[in-house]
Amino acid sequence: MKGYAGKILFVNLTTGEIKKENTSEDLAKKFLGGVGFGAKYLFDMTPKGVDPLGPENIIAVGAGPISGTFLHGAGRGTIVTKSPLTGGYMRGAFGGDFAAKLKYAGYDSIIVTGQADSLKYVLIDNDTVEIRDASELSGLDTKKVQKKIEEITSSDFSTLCIGPAGENMARYACVIHDVRACGRGGIGAVFGAKKLKAITVRGTKDVEVANLDNMFKHYNELIPEYETKGKGLTDFGTPILVNIINKQGCLGTYNYKQEQFEHAEDISGEKLKAEHWKRNDACFACRLACTKIDAAKSDPSISEGPEYESLYAMGSMCGINDLDTLIIADAKCDEYGIDTISFGLSVSFMMEAQEKGLLKDMDLSGLDFSWGNRETLLKAVELTGNAEGIGAFIGLGTREMANRLGGEAYKIAINIKGLEPAGHSGRGLKTMSIGYSVSNRGGSHHDARPSIEYGIPREKREDISDKPALAFDTANWTTFGDAAVICHLCEKSAGLVLTDNYVRWVNDVVGWNITLEELTEISDRIYTMERCFNCREGIRRKDDKLPWRFMNEPIPDGPLKGMYCPQEELDKMLDMYYELRGWGKDGVPTKERLEQLGIGYAYEQMQD
Amino acid sequence: MKRIGFDTEKCSGCKTCELVCSATHEGVFNPNKSRIRLWRDEFYGKFNQLTCKHCEEPECIDVCPTEALYIEDNEVKFNKEECIGCMVCVDACPYDAMFTHPDLEYILKCDFCNGEMNCIRYCPFDALFVEED
């Protein structure tokens, strides 16, 4: 079986046992790799109701068959675990070159189990795997951790690590590799709970493919697409979206009290490029180089490339219109290891809560949560990362903060299943209304994708008849992408939904002869396996919903004024979506469908 | 002599050059088997590339005991069949531009892919080009 490194590495932090098993062909054919393997191992290895921050939870770090090849976007890696933020299934993906090096070291996935008794890091150097003492890395931020590990080892190791937020188990602490985050759902807190500060890897082995000539041929055929599509990402990175989405009228602003930001131009990709840009940076095997390194004017030593999502979450959502503040906040979030989306929306929740008088009896650690308060945003990063004062509260995320405040606070808590949504409106984009609500993760824009709907006019957006299918098709592409593993930003050149391009890549690399229909079934199986995990945790149709505001308050301003997603409309879309997936009316996959997918054994475990 | 030229301002560090190089020469994807290597200059944050400079007076040829290295057509050529893997040339190269891999019993040195120059062809940002003097 070409394409695969051939081994799965198991690291037990409780016992110190290190085990290597062959990657089975049956597993590969059913679950492909990356998050596919992660979903299967998470379901099989954890008990119902597993404590996300306990020793029984697992962390599955994944590469896929495409990882380590030269295909555009093949540098990405994935992590699967149970989320402490949502209490459900979580997957994340991250750029850089870690996953490629994992393949070169000889592994398709790492499954971390147990809990160490003191802070550790895992070193993987080809066949050598060691669990090492990390006491000298304790409390260090992610930049310093990576630097220190490089000093201990050498510059050809690549490192995944957590910062103080992960060690302090902020519920949306992230994992950082280079300057890139595996951001969503508190995967960093799971690392922290396991006392796992970092994993570092180096490898010198080959990635062999089944048909190299065909790979080059199919790559060459796509070069004209690569050279013309997605150039805005090369020139400006994802921040190009600030002005585009704001003009469309669906840029989350002031905690979604509005969806147009009057200061959007001040935090735009164009301004970032003109006034702060230093250089482009590419992930491994990427032709886009969408990462931008931007410097703060007030302190040029602080450089970071805030993505669109960070500019939305900490910028328009909090009413902050200063790029210097946002660059510094973004850099600090990366250093502490904090997800900028959940953090930004937690701060915007606090700002609206203060406005509504919901924080009157709270000790706010001296912070004033007025809209647009720059100092508050920056100080809140530190307090959240260190779990100090009001930071310990902010680090709970919007769902839990609203629970603790009680009353009507839930009406301003912007999350789906506990995960704060990305900057693609659940009111102005019906694909995201249904996509977010059914997402196994919650408010993720990398299950269903918004890209297609941004290209269509309002009247077609309001028509819900085709949106469940659009959410289904785009989620099948992104699930394949996270299993293969390939960056979702190559969708512009290779296909916004699953296409024969992706089928060719798999067949060329692995040597199979599968069809588009069979590849779609692999994605569907992985997504349904993830759903089974959630259903076993008690998640049902009742949980497939949107934030109260998205379902009850229409967009008050701009070109999409009046759009929202009331329960009745969502119900219609849920029925259509469940049917496409072969899930029952209650949102639980049917026994018949699970047996068709070859995972019938999951059915009994999901019953109440 | 001709050689692979490099524009650091254009390079994004994606390493596509290393990947197509190892695929072209060894039939596998493995940056450790590439004849071209990228490395980041930590001070400037930008990338540099290292590959055979095709020197006019190559020290590698002077030390090679088997004539596996020789000058022809304005470039330093390498005959893999003659290489005995002694690695003396690797030590002699003043640019550290000759590489080895523990699996391979010969050196890794740019040979312009017999004219294909895939690193240049596949560089997404035109950071690589042919330089001649």
CA atoms of A34 and A31, how far apart (whole Å): 8
- Quickly count: other Cβ atoms within 10 Å of residue A297's Cβ: 12
Q: What share of chain A is helix, strand, coil (3-state, %, to 5)?
A: 45, 15, 40
Mean pLDDT of A145-156: 95
Could you read off the pLDDT of A213-250 as tens digits, one per residue? Answer: 999 999 999 999 998 998 899 999 999 999 999 999 99
Mean pLDDT of B44-64: 93
| Domain extent listing, chain B | 2-123
CB-based contact (8 Å) between B126 and chain A? no
When the pLDDT of each residue in chain A is averaged and rounded to a whole number, the result is: 97
Q: Is A289–B28 a contact, with Cβ atoms under 8 angstroms apart?
A: no
CATH class of A430-606: mainly alpha
CA atoms of A82 and A38, how far apart (whole Å): 11
Residue A608 pLDDT class (50, 70, 90 cuts): confident
Rounded to a whole number, what is the distance in Å from the CA of B125 to chain A's nearest CA? 8
- What fold characterizes domain A234-412? 1.10.569
Q: Is A70–B125 a contact, with Cβ atoms under 8 angstroms apart?
A: no
Tell whether the model's pLDDT for residue A175 goes beyond 90: yes
pLDDT for the residue numbered B43: 73
Q: Is A207–B29 a contact, with Cβ atoms under 8 angstroms apart?
A: yes
Question: What are the DSSP calls for B67-116, one per residue?
Answer: --EEEETTEEEE-GGG-----HHHHH-TT---B--TT-SS-B---GGGGT
Residue B115 pLDDT class (50, 70, 90 cuts): confident
> For residue A385, which of A141, A98, A199 has the smallest C-alpha distance?
A141
Could you read off the pLDDT of A414-428 as tens digits, one per residue? Answer: 999 999 999 999 999
ipTM, two decimals, is 0.96
pLDDT for the residue numbered A45: 98
Q: Which residues of B touch A278 (CB under 8 A)?
A: 45
A7-202 and A430-606 share one fold: no
CA atoms of A348 and A36, how far apart (whole Å): 34
Least confident of A154-158, A269-273, A302-306: A302-306
Residue A130 pLDDT class (50, 70, 90 cuts): very high
Q: Is B15–A281 a contact, with Cβ atoms under 8 angstroms apart?
A: no
pLDDT for the residue numbered B106: 96
- What fold characterizes domain A7-202? Aldehyde Ferredoxin Oxidoreductase;  A, domain 1 (3.60.9)
Could you read off the pLDDT of A444-494 as tens digits, one per residue? Answer: 999 999 999 999 999 999 999 999 999 999 999 999 999 999 999 989 899
CATH architecture, domain defined by B2-123 = 2-Layer Sandwich (3.30)
| Domain extent listing, chain A | 7-202, 234-412, 430-606
Q: Which residues of A touch B124 (CB under 8 A)?
A: 226, 286-289
Q: Is B29–A69 a contact, with Cβ atoms under 8 angstroms apart?
A: yes
Of A204, A212, A285, the CB nearest to B15: A285
Residue A396 pLDDT class (50, 70, 90 cuts): very high
pLDDT for the residue numbered B21: 98
Q: Is A284–B27 a contact, with Cβ atoms under 8 angstroms apart?
A: no
Question: Residues A498, A516: contact at Cβ < 8 Å?
Answer: yes
3-class SS letters over A475-522? HHHHHHHHHHCCCHHHHHHHCCCCCHHHHHHHHHHHCCCCCHHHHHHH
Distances (CA, A) of A119 to A187, A193, A558: 16, 10, 51
Could you read off the pLDDT of A492-541 as tens digits, one per residue? Answer: 899 999 999 999 999 999 999 999 999 999 999 999 999 999 999 999 99
Tell whether the model's pLDDT for residue A303 goes beyond 90: no
Of B20, B27, B30, the CB nearest to A205: B30
Could you read off the pLDDT of B5-29 as tens digits, one per residue? Answer: 999 999 999 999 999 999 999 999 9
Sign of the CA dihedral running A591, A592, A596, A597: negative
Question: Residues A487, A95: contact at Cβ < 8 Å?
Answer: yes
Tell whether the model's pLDDT for residue A602 goes beyond 80: yes
Tell whether the model's pLDDT for residue A173 goes beyond 80: yes
Q: Is A286–B29 a contact, with Cβ atoms under 8 angstroms apart?
A: no
Residue A382 pLDDT class (50, 70, 90 cuts): very high
pLDDT for the residue numbered A134: 98
Residue A565 corresponds to which tokens in the numbers above?
A: 């997603």
